[in-house]
A and B are shown apart, each in its own frame.
Chain A
Amino acid sequence: MKADVLPIDSAEHQAVQLLLPWHGNAMLSASEAARVEAHVAECPRCQADLGWQARFRLASADAVPAARPPSELDRRWVALRKQLVSADVPHSRAARGRSLRRSVSLGWSFALAAQAGLLLAFVLVAAWPALSPQVEAYRGLGAGPVSTAANAIIVFGADATEAQIRAALRAGDARLVGGPTVTDAYLLQLRTTDRATLARLRAQPGVLRVESLEAEATR
């Protein structure tokens, strides 16, 4: 009915149309989201667009290429690793010579860049407390400060039970301090990330993968 059609500010409509894709997946700032919501409430065309986007997202979920089997991933990793290893083989003498000449000619440039880098690093270190966001960590009553730094990740199988997860954490004397990440990994804090601890965790039912986040040399 004509009486139901509300006058729409076309400039505002156009501006909101440009934001709609991210309103659908909730990635707008609070002010942008409020602007979109205020307009959509009065705009049948934008309401229809949001409905279409929701259905499109559902259809897209079915349309993504199928995940490749883990065995393929292992094969590809081995191939890539070979490339990395061969790339680390020392260069030929000629290549080394070229590299040396280039290094000499660029020496002054690097020196200047290094000096600028040191200056920048000093400024950043001095300004870091002001630049870092102050995040208040949750702390229970009476609890003292605790370290939540993760030093390992763990991935559980899709069918891992809660009991298996608890048992795995107990076996590794591990604390869950974050996650899941977008790849379903969880961050762990282990007392030690030595090979025995990692192996014990990996052997637990329901555990797919465990990796230390500490450098090899420190283990």
Chain B
Amino acid sequence: MFRFGAGRRSPGAQHETTVVADAGDALDLALMARIVARDLAAFETLYRIYDARLGRFLGLMIARRTIVEEVLNDTMLVVWNRAATYNHQSKVSTWIFAIAYRTALKALHRHDEPLADPTDEPPAEHPGPEQQHSDGETRAALMHALDMLSREQRSVLVLTYFHELPYAEIAQIMSCPVDTVKTRVFHARRRLRALLSGELGDWL
């Protein structure tokens, strides 16, 4: 059943954060109802709302930018064409992310694309303790470590830590049991921590 108010919660800020999640869900639902009626303006609004979020998710999942754009486009085409099949079993955002995830897996398979871009340079030499990591270096080290993970581990980490989604939603997106999500994150976290011990060990 569609869950109302199933948003981010934190002690002391429960009311505010629940309202935030509700507002987003209500907006998504209103737009979906119009999209089912083939309202292009509503679809444009939804597209603009989700472009950055999907771009961020796919950009961390797929190395090659041209494929990111292709998958994002294909995802939104599916949303437009199959809006009527949205059955309220999950939040609209979960439904869209699940489409993006499946579309990305298909594209990666089709292009035989490894998660890591083989042309990517390895991260720069770890600076001495007197130097602080720049944003670019931190990004390079993290991306390099993420590249070392399996596709499932990488996806589940991105959804957990970068998108801060609850495990139940991640399970819906990845079409797997909740316990599988928890176990994947556990092993991915352990592996990532080992991988980063040489890169950002002093810092992380």
Partner-B contacts on A (CB < 8 A): 17-19, 21-22, 25-27, 49, 52-53, 55-57, 59-60, 62-65, 67-68, 73, 76-77, 79-81, 83-84, 87, 131, 133, 135, 150, 153, 178-183, 185-187, 209, 211-213, 215-216
- A42 to B181 Cα, complex, angstroms: 26
Chain-A contact segment, one of B4-12, B102-110, B112-120, B147-155? B4-12
28 contacts between A and B (CB under 8 A): A22-B166, A25-B164, A27-B9, A27-B164, A53-B189, A55-B204, A59-B204, A60-B162, A62-B138, A63-B139, A64-B60, A68-B51, A77-B44, A80-B47, A81-B44, A131-B1, A135-B4, A150-B27, A178-B22, A178-B26, A180-B23, A181-B20, A181-B23, A183-B53, A186-B23, A187-B23, A216-B39, A216-B41
Contacting pair A211 B45 (CB below 8 A): yes
Say yes or no for B31: interface residue by CB 8 A criterion.
yes
- A21 to B156 Cα, complex, angstroms: 11
**B1-58, CB < 8 A from A:** 1, 4-5, 8-11, 19-20, 22-24, 26-27, 30-31, 34, 37, 39-45, 47-49, 51-53, 55-56
Minimal Cβ-Cβ distance residue in A for B196: A56
Please classify how large the interface on chain B is, using the bins under 10, 10 to 19, 20 to 34, 35 or more: 35 or more
- A215 to B81 Cα, complex, angstroms: 18
Contacting pair B24 A76 (CB below 8 A): no
Minimal Cβ-Cβ distance residue in B for A179: B23
Contacting pair B161 A57 (CB below 8 A): yes
Contacts of A87 in B (CB 8 A): 77, 81
Minimal Cβ-Cβ distance residue in A for B164: A25
- A181 to B53 Cα, complex, angstroms: 13
Say yes or no for B182: interface residue by CB 8 A criterion.
yes
The answer to whether residues A84 and B80 also contact, given A22-B166, A77-B47, A77-B48 and a CB cut-off of 8 A, is yes
Contacting pair B19 A65 (CB below 8 A): no
Chain B interface main SS type: helix
A114–chain B nearest beta-carbon distance, Å:
14
Minimal Cβ-Cβ distance residue in B for A138: B15
Minimal Cβ-Cβ distance residue in A for B73: A80
Contacts of A133 in B (CB 8 A): 4-5
B203–chain A nearest beta-carbon distance, Å:
7
Contacting pair B161 A60 (CB below 8 A): yes
Say yes or no for B167: interface residue by CB 8 A criterion.
yes
A39–chain B nearest beta-carbon distance, Å:
15
Minimal Cβ-Cβ distance residue in A for B30: A213
- A144 to B103 Cα, complex, angstroms: 49
Say yes or no for B171: interface residue by CB 8 A criterion.
no
Contacting pair B76 A80 (CB below 8 A): yes
Contacting pair A64 B162 (CB below 8 A): yes
- A59 to B193 Cα, complex, angstroms: 13
Say yes or no for B90: interface residue by CB 8 A criterion.
no
Nearest 5 Cβ contacts at the A-B interface: A65-B59, A181-B24, A178-B23, A26-B10, A18-B182
Partner of B160, one of A21, A77, A150: A21
The answer to whether residues A27 and B8 also contact, given A19-B182, A63-B138 and a CB cut-off of 8 A, is yes
* Complex interface bits, B157-189 against A, C-beta within 8 A gives 1, otherwise 0: 000111011110000000000000011011001
Contacts of B43 in A (CB 8 A): 84
Contacts of A213 in B (CB 8 A): 27, 30-31, 34, 42
Say yes or no for B200: interface residue by CB 8 A criterion.
yes
